[in-house]
Amino acid sequence: MLPVCYDPYSGTLGRFQRAEIFQIVADAGYEGINIPVNNAFLGEMSSNEIEDAVRLADKHKLVAPTIGFGNHILTTPTKRDEAVRHFEIVLDVACRFDAEFIGVWVNPSEGVSRQDSLDTLAANLAEMAPPCQDNDIKIALEFQKGCPLDNYREGIDFVAASDFPVYLTCDTYHLFNDNANPHTAALAMKTCLGDVHVSGSDRGEPGGGTYDFETFAVGLKEISFSGPLVIQYKMQDVGSIKRSCDFTFKFRDMILS
């Protein structure tokens, strides 16, 4: 319940090799890690590369409840075939890690309208959903200001209108930028919240900035949220990796208290 996980994100990928990342994350006290399915983390994404990541997770006793889609093309009409091919790799990774969620950032596509972006996303999800259901894996969509799903309200509407089960990834940084009330947002997402990304209000380490984690924790407790807490921020100071872990364990305690 509520595993505390690290997402190798900006400042980590490209700075450390895969084996180093697993070691650093385990040493900092995390329970899990997000696996981004991209070249920066999985190289050529071959079977051997994926198996090496599985081996490293087992070695360091880290779970991987979330798998990042990694290739941000699910809203691009001209890349439908590429998106489906990449999904096959992502699904394989998710199955190997016995993951609960495949996380999708609903990115803007250059020269594509919001409606066309969402229609393309829906078409891709329609192909992705059945094999995910067959493997007991959920798809979680991340909203963000300026993206086709600009905020949690648009995310809820998209989920409600979908003909297949999808969930939301809620990032504290995105809630902050939306000026969303943390308690209201948590209650609104009760039926469709998959996982939570934990970040400072300036995309720095969690606990930094002015985001109201205490109020958000109250809301998450009231909806009995039990999904992964995934730390995602722009890492500059390596020491912040452990500080972020320590903070998020405290945040989890707020939710469970």
Domain assignments of the chain as residue spans, ordered by start: 4-256
| C-alpha span between 39 and 42 (Å, rounded) | 5
Contacts of 128 (CB under 8 A, 6+ apart): 87, 91, 102, 139
Contacts of 180 (CB under 8 A, 6+ apart): 151, 152
Rg (CA), the chain: 17
| C-alpha span between 17 and 28 (Å, rounded) | 17
Residue 81 has pLDDT above 90, yes or no: yes
- Model pLDDT, residue 216: 98
- Model pLDDT, residue 223: 98
- Model pLDDT, residue 208: 87
| C-alpha span between 214 and 183 (Å, rounded) | 9
- Model pLDDT, residue 55: 98
Burial (CB count within 10 angstroms: exposed 0-12, middle 13-18, buried 19+), residue 51: exposed
What residue type is 152 in one-letter code? Y
Owner of token pair 């609104």: 188
Helix (H, G, I), strand (E, B) or coil at 191: coil
Owner of token pair 């489906």: 84
Is the separation of the CB atoms in 181 and 140 below 8 Å? no
- Model pLDDT, residue 1: 86
- Model pLDDT, residue 60: 98
Q: For residue 11, which of 2, 24, 29 has the smallest C-alpha distance?
A: 24
Domain 4-256, classified CATH 3.40.50.2300, yes or no: no
Mean of per-residue pLDDT scores for the chain: 97
Annotate 22-67 with DSSP letters as a single string: HHHHHHTT-SEE-EE-SHHHHTT--HHHHHHHHHHHHHTT-B--EE
- Average pLDDT rounded to a whole number, residues 23-41: 98
Q: Distance between alpha carbon 245 and the CA centroid of its chain, in Å?
A: 16
- Average pLDDT rounded to a whole number, residues 179-203: 98
Per-residue DSSP letter, 103: E
